[in-house]
Structure 1
Amino acid sequence: MKPLEGIQVIELGAFIAGPFATRILADFGAQVIKVESPNGDQIRTWGLSQDGGDSYWSRVQMRNKRSIAIDLHQEAGREVVRKLIRSADVVIENFKPGTLEKWNLSHDEMKALNPRLIVTSVTGYGQTGPYRERPGFGNIAESMGGLRAVTGFPDRPPVRVGLSIGDSVAALYAVIGTLMALYHRDVKDAKAGQVVDVALYESVFSLMEGLLPEYVHEGSIRERQGNTLKAAAPSNVYPTLDEKWLAIGANSHTLFQKLMRLMNRDDLAADPALSDNPGRVANVDRLDAAISEWTKQHTCAELVDALAEAGIPGGPIYDMADIYADPHFRAREMFVSVSGQNGKELVMPGVVPKLTQTPGGITWAGPDCGADTHAIMGQLGYSDEQIDELDKLGAIHCAVS
């Protein structure tokens, strides 16, 4: 039994943040119905694909969900959504504020249909404030939330993380907020649901550690600093004999002493200038140069083993080929094979986190757009004739009739 079995979730929206949140809920048993346009979520065309079909990313993002294709610009399509809402526990949506209002599907109107409904909204800037109506994507949130300002090297332009990190962090907050709202409704017996308001820029901003009080009270603005850690040292990536890169985190006094002994650098271990963290931060260039000189004399694998034996955190910089070859990922079931398009094997990332009593799982890869339209509408009470008529009008799309 998965922990969220029996929870009915309606996904309204597209792209990344909202669908990523519902993917997590679906992994743990929630019954997720993805409402997408008859043309399909645009993520179906993002990236590489299997045999020219929908993208691999979309098959991962839509796993364990059912797809109903509805044209929300048509009233007949919106009426189908209203029927879905009446029996749902959660709606997760990531439309720009004002969009649902234009379709008479505002948060208040949804709550009127179902007072126990939890509406989780993921937007660029939230439901209030002067920027609420601005369009917002994850890359803008990463910029305005402060992440880009501290990412990269000081003599180069700000850089983006190579993934949609802003959307993903917002999705995690959407899941957290949804689960808290469900707990409040069901365990605390609140009887009524509520709105969970998640803003992309706030989700990124929440990761900014102590940067806000450092600025307000000390006038300090953290700058881009490459791979170093301004608050503690040594913590960096270092070159190896076999031309790989190794991350080492020895940024506590005990770990620093262990690393210096492993390097046979008792002189640095005993250096008064390096006896505390502020001193090591002030001398980080000298310290990193010494560590680099040591790592360049050994292969990455040798260093990983030596650091582990000494109890010092260290690990290689992996690309996806390295990850897929690593036995620990495999032992932790982080590569899961499911049946993909045309019955072909499709490997996708495993479920996070691991629950000992009620673990999540992957039952199927993302469906074709509208694959479940006919079945779901039949469950809502529509006759075959009504479904066919709406399909002809373009209010819905049935991939399987």
Structure 2
Amino acid sequence: MTGPLTGLRVLDIATIIAGPSAAALLGDYGATVVKAELPGSGDGARDFPPHKNGKPLWWKVTNRGKRLITLDLRKPEGAALLLKMLPQFDVLIENFRPGTLDRWGLDKAALWAAQPSLVILRATGFGQTGPYRNRPGFARVFEAMGGLTHLTGEAEGEPMHAGYPVADNVGGLFGAVGVLAALWRRARDPNAPGEEIDLSLTEATLKLLEFLPIEHDQLGAVRQRSGNANQYSAPAAVYRTGDGHWVSLAGSTNALFAANCRAIGRADLIADPRFANNSARVAHAAELNGVFAQWCGRHPLSAVLAAFEASGGTIAPIYGIDQIEADPHLRARQAICDVPDADFGRVRMANVVPRFAGAPCEIRHSGGALGQDNADFYRRELALDPEHIERLQTAGVI
């Protein structure tokens, strides 16, 4: 076991992406994570494409490094087993609708009676309170109601979602940060009571957008879509090169503007009073983006990148995953790494972020089969004999 969270124990009873993603992050940093799924059907994320030979590939990433057991919390004996195992854990992660665990006899009083210092992360679409608390939620719901979708797309076009459930993983990040904050309190005071963390995934998406509320509050503005044109920096947009590739330009400071101008042979723009600072450049964004778009359109990608590298400018090729895999810098950093896998020998996935020099982390293995660790977990950690385990399996408790 490696990583700064070595010794921390996490019980993941959440499903799909956000909660399990938070648990996986803690596991990346060294925590022991045990994931409990419903017997028979398991987590619904097992059905998410893509699959290879019937094996879910996305599942292998979101549930990497976890020990996998089955447990039906709806059954009284399953709830009793959860309470019996809780003293071995520091963190419980769940994403049931508010009140669901309470109905199964697993309210926070019962959880804290079993483990008084337990940190409980509750991840839901809208939080534990409020009129929407019982609504179901998926990433597209959080992105739509959290403001992200409204900002995405062309100015005159329809709002757009990204081709990936961004809000789920944003929520997972906030969930992991919340757990670590609660653990810091306990580290300072070992006698601190347990903590309940109310994670609204819609609010997590809103927090990602940072300055929208203050802009509306102070200026009465409702920020709109602008396609690939940057609304707070110029020139900054996506341009097509002469050989059909795409690049993205950034740079809000005067120094970077000057470097970008030199890259395209337009040092004359640097001294133009219309472009004296970032605010002025944003006011003339269309003109500036037109200049840079025309220049990029006359040159192949290799020449564009070389010119900006020589001048210290800030442009980047827009990569697909095949180009990410081939990039020499990302390869040198092992940004994508090989991970042991029971089905395919090894699979590749994004490495641990960030890196810890003193307590290096590793992804121990990919997400595996439903209930693969049942026998070992229930026998070794709960001291159940084989006959008892078999009876629980027959009864559908595990």
**Length-normalised TM-score, structure 1:** 0.95
Superimposed CA distance per residue, residues 27-48 of structure 1 (whole angstroms, 9 cap, x where no aligned partner):
1111111011111111112112
CA distance in 2 between partners of 1:20 and 1:361 (Å): 16
State the 1:108 CA deviation: 2.6
CA distance in 1 between partners of 2:281 and 2:315 (Å): 18
CA distance in 2 between partners of 1:21 and 1:322 (Å): 28
Structure 1 window deviating more from structure 2 (188-197 vs 350-359): it is: 188-197
| 1:399 corresponds to | none
Superimposed CA distance per residue, residues 114-154 of structure 1 (whole angstroms, 9 cap, x where no aligned partner):
11101011111111222212212221111111111111111
| 2:33 corresponds to | 32
| 2:342 corresponds to | 341
| 2:48 corresponds to | 46
CA distance in 1 between partners of 2:363 and 2:277 (Å): 48
Superimposed CA distance per residue, residues 159-207 of structure 1 (whole angstroms, 9 cap, x where no aligned partner):
0012111111111111111011111112333432211111101101112
Confirm or deny: 8 A CA contact 1:184 1:190 kept in the other structure: no
Pair 1:60 & 2:73 matched: no
CA distance in 2 between partners of 1:381 and 1:233 (Å): 64
Superimposed CA distance per residue, residues 2-31 of structure 1 (whole angstroms, 9 cap, x where no aligned partner):
211111110011000010011111111111
| 2:392 corresponds to | 390
State the 1:228 CA deviation: 1.3
Matched residue count: 395
| 2:372 corresponds to | 371
CA distance in 2 between partners of 1:222 and 1:32 (Å): 41
Superimposed CA distance per residue, residues 225-245 of structure 1 (whole angstroms, 9 cap, x where no aligned partner):
101121221111111011011
| 2:157 corresponds to | 156
Return the letter of the residue paired with 1:386.
H
Return the letter of the residue paired with 1:394.
G
Identity %: 36
Confirm or deny: 8 A CA contact 2:263 2:310 kept in the other structure: no
Pair 1:177 & 2:196 matched: no
Q: What 5-or-longer segments of structure 1 have no aligned partner?
A: 397-401
1:12-31 to 2 correspondences below 5 Å: 12-31=13-32
Confirm or deny: 8 A CA contact 2:3 2:360 kept in the other structure: yes
CA distance in 1 between partners of 2:332 and 2:191 (Å): 42
Confirm or deny: 8 A CA contact 2:264 2:307 kept in the other structure: no
State the 1:331 CA deviation: 1.2
SS in 2 for 1:363: coil
CA distance in 2 between partners of 1:52 and 1:140 (Å): 29
Inter-CA distance 40–254: structure 2 relative to 1 (3 Å threshold): same
1:39-118 to 2 correspondences below 5 Å: 39-53=41-55, 55-118=56-119
Confirm or deny: 8 A CA contact 2:24 2:66 kept in the other structure: yes
SS in 2 for 1:224: coil
1:286-305 to 2 correspondences below 5 Å: 286-305=287-306
SS in 1 for 2:362: coil
State the 1:251 CA deviation: 2.1
State the 1:343 CA deviation: 5.0
Return the letter of the residue paired with 1:395.
V
CA distance in 2 between partners of 1:187 and 1:306 (Å): 52
Q: What 5-or-longer segments of structure 2 have no aligned partner?
A: none
SS in 2 for 1:115: coil
CA distance in 2 between partners of 1:382 and 1:180 (Å): 35
Computed over aligned residues only, the root mean square deviation of the Cα atoms, in angstroms, reads 1.4
| 1:123 corresponds to | 124
Pair 1:306 & 2:302 matched: no
| 2:251 corresponds to | 250
Inter-CA distance 219–365: structure 2 relative to 1 (3 Å threshold): same
Pair 1:206 & 2:207 matched: yes
Structure 1 window deviating more from structure 2 (153-162 vs 41-50): it is: 41-50
SS in 2 for 1:360: coil
CA distance in 1 between partners of 2:191 and 2:273 (Å): 60
